[in-house]
A and B are shown apart, each in its own frame.
Chain A
């Protein structure tokens, strides 16, 4: 359901339509790169503002959807590059406040960590490096002397096993409750 800019259509309306169609996906995508809800929102807004400014120039044939995803991607990478050189006022955010995940129950977290511990050693190491240390796939691969593809496969495996274990457990608890 790509939206294309047509001359006949009202450009202003189109930008808004695009917003409604793609905001969620773009914001979610920006979050995967930036790991910060507010920064992700700023990124998506910046991209829509750019789209707004360029609405007259954009090629009729060009898919706006792919323009938006690509623009968000580059914007986020740029933010990350800047963050690296930013002085440590806010980069070194202490865990005391906003970055603590207050809503996760200790029990859920403990369960997940237990299942992560039970993954095969290589799988656990790769998953931990990506999830907890925020390392890039390429870095993990170089560190461990593996191919990027192997990292990718192990990450997929970790998620698959964790989902099966955690959500099967939940289904079982649910059933247990129903029959009690």
Chain B
């Protein structure tokens, strides 16, 4: 490239462009100029590289155009739209992820001196759920057959926990120390909120009750706000929001908040058993099929069964952690 050619470069325009000052007209001028000549493209790339490399922030990366178009077409076809992000599936993203994970690992390993600091806390549940308080006073409720791991004391710059299965988190706000749940392929990052993570063979679902979280995989991510559910489809490697309503009962095991709508007593007690750690015995099998609707917001177990007995005209007898239901039955 000749010096004379360099003199004609629109450096001031590029400065405005990279600084985010360019008007739409100026942006068009930049793009037309880039297309004008192969050398222009090269020079643009050089200046862009300097701009990117000078900062330690996110670099510019063109997303996979085909993936974006496919996603766009899907959204055009199915209005109303749900926020949906396709992974870029790029080598660079994978490299960045690996470097990131390696950096965290190195950091986690390095920032601890002494044998007790390296200790990992592992928790695992069988059929019974487990309620727990983490070192930062956040609470976690592990659903059946789940496991959770974290460094004891949470002394790192982040509060990182590794989950498999389902768990409910109520995270204390610590803006300086983000709380991160690593589950399968993805990570859920929060600063202070309550949410549920459920990992199954086909998907990882995050339901947010308060605040907001960020679900990410590589460099694609979505924000899930209160009342929403974000889903990661494992086979398709897709992140998206589900369109359906917030399923309160899904979280009942942890929150003890239930909204039963015309479902059978059998289904109701199955959820109550888990949430309250009780066992329900039907003295008459026919009672299992009775249906009712009711809402409970973290009520004592006595209250819940009081409502059930009044509504269905049955008798509920509570003995320690067992509840016996008897009576003539519903509807009569």
Contacts and interface: CB of A to CB of B under 8 A. Distances in A.
Given A35-B20, A97-B189, A152-B12, A159 B50 contact: yes
Interface in B94-109: 95-96, 99-100, 103
A38 B220 contact: yes
A37 B60 contact: yes
A107 B16 CA distance: 27
A111 to B, nearest CB: 9
Contacts of B47: 159, 163
Contact of B57 (A65, A89, A101): A101
A179 B158 CA distance: 49
Given A31-B60, A35-B57, A90-B214, A156 B100 contact: no
Interface size class on chain A is 35 or more
A73 B219 contact: no
Interface string B51-68: 111111111111101001
Interface in B232-260: none
A178 interface: no
Interface stretch (B21-29, B161-169, B285-293, B318-326): B21-29
A69 B69 contact: no
Interface size class on chain B is 35 or more
B155 interface: no
B60 A103 contact: no
A44 B72 CA distance: 10
B137 interface: no
Contacts of A113: 54
B58 A35 contact: yes
Q: Which of B14, B57, B69, B178 has the most CB of A within 10 A?
A: B57
Given A66-B28, A89-B191, A155-B15, A100 B56 contact: yes
B30 to A, nearest CB: 8
A41 interface: yes
A153 B59 contact: no
Nearest to A164: B6
B283 interface: no
A112 B50 contact: yes
Given A29-B31, A90-B223, 15 more contacts: A24-B62, A24-B65, A34-B20, A37-B61, A38-B85, A41-B68, A69-B27, A73-B23, A94-B157, A97-B189, A101-B53, A131-B54, A132-B54, A134-B20, A164-B6
Interface of B: 6, 9, 11-25, 27-28, 31, 43, 46-47, 50-63, 65, 68-69, 71-72, 75-76, 81, 83, 85, 92, 95-96, 99-100, 103, 157-158, 175-176, 178, 189-193, 211-212, 214, 216, 219-221, 223
17 contacts: A19-B69, A20-B69, A27-B62, A28-B60, A32-B18, A35-B58, A49-B75, A65-B28, A94-B176, A98-B221, A101-B57, A101-B58, A102-B99, A155-B16, A156-B14, A162-B50, A164-B6
